[in-house]
Chains A and B, each alone.
Chain A
Amino acid sequence: MLRAAVALAVIVGPRAATAQDKGVTLAVEGRASANPSIAAQGQFVAIAWSAATASSMDVFAATSRDGGLTFSAPAQVNLVPGEARVNGELPPRIALVPRKGTTPEIVVVWTAKAATSTRLLSARSIDGGRTFSASKAVPGSEGEGSRGWESVAVDETGRVFVLWLDHREAAMPAGMHHQEPAAGATAAPPPKGDPTERAGLSKLYFSSLDGTHAVQITQSVCYCCKTSLVTAGKNVYGVWRHVYPGSQRDIAFAMSRDGGKTFSGPIRVSDDQWRIDGCPENGPAIAIDRSSRAHVVWPAPPDGKNESPLALFYAMSRDGQTFAKRVQIPSRGPASHAQIVIGVDGSPLVAWDEIVDGARRVEMARVRVDASGKTTFAAVQPPDAGPGQWYPVLAATPTNTVAAWVRQSDKGSTIGVARMR
């Protein structure tokens, strides 16, 4: 028996058949396409992904002007061949900056190989995705060690923000680790074998592409789980997997009410008490609805025990200061790589992949939270319910939601894209 104090939710109704059309496949000939991300502005949709040969990896993007029905031919984003270093929790991220009277400016941020480390780069397209500019370093992202698991968001003024995990201090020789001491305190000694202490070297950084430096929001962040960043008005919201005392890797949230200058929190979204000294590679996702409620989804074992299969959880905050008790989203198998978007009807749509019958499959559910806080989930038929589908991503246009995901087969991998009602 599972013994976990969770609120279980109701699944209402049979699966809704919601794929609007047959969908399209994005691929680069001769390469394995994977690790998509997606953004939409009006009916303009842009997808970025990685395409790898046997020995290198590059970032590509394709765009749609009809809400995801058709897409342009892929265009390579990075000008330095083979520099991309991305994966499913660390995909190239894409964002759209609105422009009056023309297509949005496209911004792509990705992790790239540096000499002995990795760095974050960005490039822009002002011709609808046909070509991309030379890349520039994300301000504050240069340094030794690895970094990435970034997320990007655009605010109402068109500023592009980036949130990422940074391990520059983990790359320093022992004894040179720097931790910000509190006023009057001395710097802490280098961490030893304790995993919580060691995680203190993993930092969460935030930067604006038009800035000159990065701000450290917090330390002790889980090493390799994706972050998620969204804006609404002047507010900026971020979620990530944190390392709490006892090496508990639970989800944390922070928000800025001044356009990213300062952040409150972090606050613990849910006391899952998941103790693991490793990289779950399974981060959270956040969306903000029209009422400024924050909706967060993430995977965790229901009882915090590594022996239990991963479940999917949801929690909502009305004020950005406290979250309601987590609710488990029913799944048939171990669930991973959750994503969430506010759909056309104003309700959140969740996508994830799970392992069922020995294969990875994409699943989806719509979230309804009534005035009393009661949560229900309506299962949604994914665009492709077949085996070998994973890493779904979602974006909303004014008329539909667009889903993209990785299709894996013996012949390689491609990106599936479909519009959903």
Chain B
Amino acid sequence: MVAAVIAVGSVAGCDDGKTVRAPSIGAAAPAFTARGLNDEPVSLAGLRGKIVVLNEWATWCEPCRDELPQLEALHRQFAPQGLVMVGVSVDGAGMGGDVRDFAQAHGMTYPIWLDPDKQLALKFLTLGVPETFLIDRTGVIRWRKIGALPVGDTTLAAAIRNALGT
């Protein structure tokens, strides 16, 4: 049997509906588990009922470093109102110490989860790092950013306020 894909020249391909796509805004966030910096099990399910910002990052990622001040500022601003900011590090296995040191050196005061096997990337079909999701109290994705937050971004803050109902 020949399995063929049609060929040659410039053609428009068709989305046959079977194409695997990342969960979109308005879709339920996939289940995701990781380990905390003290090797404790953590999960998105454990944060159900809270407004969560999930930020996928790595210590070696320059654009990730650039957006850290904005994320930390949002954490400090909205944590008292119930926001949970989580930094999910995809640094390699055994790098928890590096991640902890980096977080301290860069003033990251929000929870850090370790995901060396890139389960977040697998479940959420992320494109790389950084990538950020806002998930509401019912576990629905309400905002997503592929790549670093632009300097002076206001969209995430607005989305957080909306989710908090403020």
**Contact surface of A with B, Cβ cutoff 8 Å:** 1-14, 32, 34-35, 50, 52-57, 82, 85-87, 90, 113, 118, 146, 148, 167, 170, 192-193, 195, 198, 201-202, 223-224, 276-282, 302, 306-307, 309-310, 330, 333-334, 355-356, 358-360, 374, 379, 408, 413
The size bracket of the interface on B is 35 or more
Q: Flag if B5 contacts A8 (CB, 8 Å).
A: yes
Cβ 8 A contact of B147, one of A56, A85, A277, A355: A277
Q: Flag if A279 contacts B128 (CB, 8 Å).
A: yes
9 more contacts with CB within 8 A, not counting A279-B61, A309-B22, are A7-B7, A7-B8, A14-B1, A52-B92, A192-B151, A278-B63, A278-B129, A408-B117, A413-B117
A11 to B150, CA, bound (A): 41
A148 and chain B: residue at smallest CB distance? B60
A408 to B62, CA, bound (A): 28
Interface status of B46 (Cβ within 8 A of chain A) = no
Q: Which residues of B contact A201 (CB under 8 A)?
A: 62
Cβ 8 A contact of A279, one of B14, B64, B92, B117: B64
Cβ 8 A contact of A53, one of B20, B94, B127: B94
Contact with A along B116-128 (1 / 0, CB 8 A): 1100001101011
Contact with A along B17-48 (1 / 0, CB 8 A): 00111100000000000000001000000000
Q: Flag if A8 contacts B151 (CB, 8 Å).
A: no
A82 and chain B: residue at smallest CB distance? B94
Interface status of B9 (Cβ within 8 A of chain A) = yes
Cβ 8 A contact of B5, one of A10, A52, A54, A309: A10
Q: Flag if B13 contacts A302 (CB, 8 Å).
A: yes
Q: Which residues of A contact B130 (CB under 8 A)?
A: 278-279
Q: Which residues of B contact A202 (CB under 8 A)?
A: 62
A52 to B34, CA, bound (A): 17
Q: Which residues of A contact B152 (CB under 8 A)?
A: 193
A119 to B73, CA, bound (A): 32
A149 and chain B: residue at smallest CB distance? B60
Q: Flag if B147 contacts A2 (CB, 8 Å).
A: no
**Contact segment of B79-87, B95-103, B134-142, B156-164:** B95-103
Q: Which residues of A contact B14 (CB under 8 A)?
A: 1-2
A8 to B98, CA, bound (A): 44
**Contact surface of B with A, Cβ cutoff 8 Å:** 1-15, 19-22, 39, 58, 60-64, 66, 91-98, 116-117, 122-123, 125, 127-131, 146-148, 150-152
Q: Flag if A278 contacts B128 (CB, 8 Å).
A: yes
A56 to B97, CA, bound (A): 8
With A1-B13, A12-B2, A56-B94 as given contacts, are A278 and B146 in contact (CB-CB < 8 Å)? yes
Q: Flag if A7 contacts B60 (CB, 8 Å).
A: no
Q: Which residues of A contact B125 (CB under 8 A)?
A: 309, 334, 355
Sample 11 A-B pairs with CB under 8 A, ordered by A number: A7-B10, A52-B93, A85-B98, A87-B91, A167-B62, A201-B62, A224-B60, A306-B146, A307-B21, A334-B125, A408-B117
Q: Flag if A11 contacts B63 (CB, 8 Å).
A: no
With A11-B5, A14-B1 as given contacts, are A195 and B148 in contact (CB-CB < 8 Å)? yes
Q: Which residues of B contact A360 (CB under 8 A)?
A: 122
Cβ 8 A contact of B61, one of A50, A224, A282, A408: A224
A192 to B152, CA, bound (A): 12
A61 to B2, CA, bound (A): 41
- CB of B18, distance to nearest CB on chain A (Å): 9
With A57-B95, A306-B146 as given contacts, are A280 and B12 in contact (CB-CB < 8 Å)? no
- CB of B14, distance to nearest CB on chain A (Å): 5
A86 to B92, CA, bound (A): 7
A14 to B99, CA, bound (A): 46
B152 and chain A: residue at smallest CB distance? A193
A113 to B59, CA, bound (A): 12
Q: Flag if A309 contacts B19 (CB, 8 Å).
A: yes
Cβ 8 A contact of A8, one of B8, B19, B116: B8
- CB of B98, distance to nearest CB on chain A (Å): 7
With A53-B94, A57-B92 as given contacts, are A310 and B13 in contact (CB-CB < 8 Å)? no
Q: Flag if B92 contacts A35 (CB, 8 Å).
A: yes
A86 and chain B: residue at smallest CB distance? B92
With A34-B93, A35-B92, A356-B20 as given contacts, are A54 and B39 in contact (CB-CB < 8 Å)? yes
Q: Which residues of B contact A3 (CB under 8 A)?
A: 12
- CB of B136, distance to nearest CB on chain A (Å): 21
Q: Flag if B94 contacts A52 (CB, 8 Å).
A: yes
Q: Flag if A113 contacts B94 (CB, 8 Å).
A: no
- CB of B124, distance to nearest CB on chain A (Å): 11
